[in-house]
Amino acid sequence: MNYTVRLGFSVFFNGQTFRGGQTVFMPLDQALRWAFALDPTPIGPNPGWLPPSDSRSGSNANGTWLRLPGGTQICWLRAANTLTTNAPNGSVFRASATNLWTFPAPFAAPPIVFVSSEVDSGITWGAHFFSTTSSFTQIHIIGATSGSVAVPLSVAFGNFT
């Protein structure tokens, strides 16, 4: 699935030049890598906001991580499985199954976590438990109706150890 990315800079991608202000459709992982300047090929001089060359990044089965020189770490994951909303929870439904997300690199303290969903059917949104630690969190999918199906998309921001 592709996502809409509004560019604030010019890039060369798939043989085409995209200027700042244009809209491009691309996979989520590519959009995040562009957002954090891991893959873009800027046209012209460095715009000044790109991370320094001593930034480090990597990935494993738990997702992708980016470490910036100032100590900031960003991790993200598109889960490999879908969750289905099937358990009543007040006026909404939640997936009875949860995803335990072990971060691809540990944080120094519990990070700020954002969860969204890539919807296969229905209307869904993501959530996580307040019991997030420096190494994992639980991801949930919530829907307006029972039977909604979605893939969790998660991003965590914090400092690395």
> Structure pTM?
0.68
Tokens linked to 89: 């929870």
What's residue 86's pLDDT? Answer: 92
State how beta strands 149-159 and 83-89 pair. antiparallel
Judge contact between 116 and 126, C-beta under 8 A.
yes
Residues carrying CATH 2.60.40.2080, the chain: 72-159
What is 72-159's CATH topology?
Answer: Immunoglobulin-like (2.60.40)
What's residue 79's pLDDT? Answer: 87
Q: What are the b/e assignments for 45-56, b being 16+ CB within 10 Å?
A: eeeeeebeeebe
What's residue 88's pLDDT? Answer: 93
What's residue 42's pLDDT? Answer: 42
Residue type, 90: G
What's residue 33's pLDDT? Answer: 55
* pLDDT tens for the chain, residues 1 to 161: 444 444 444 444 455 555 444 455 555 555 555 555 544 444 344 444 445 556 788 999 999 998 887 888 999 998 888 889 999 989 999 998 878 899 999 999 999 998 888 887 888 888 877 678 999 999 888 998 999 998 888 999 999 97
What's residue 127's pLDDT? Answer: 84
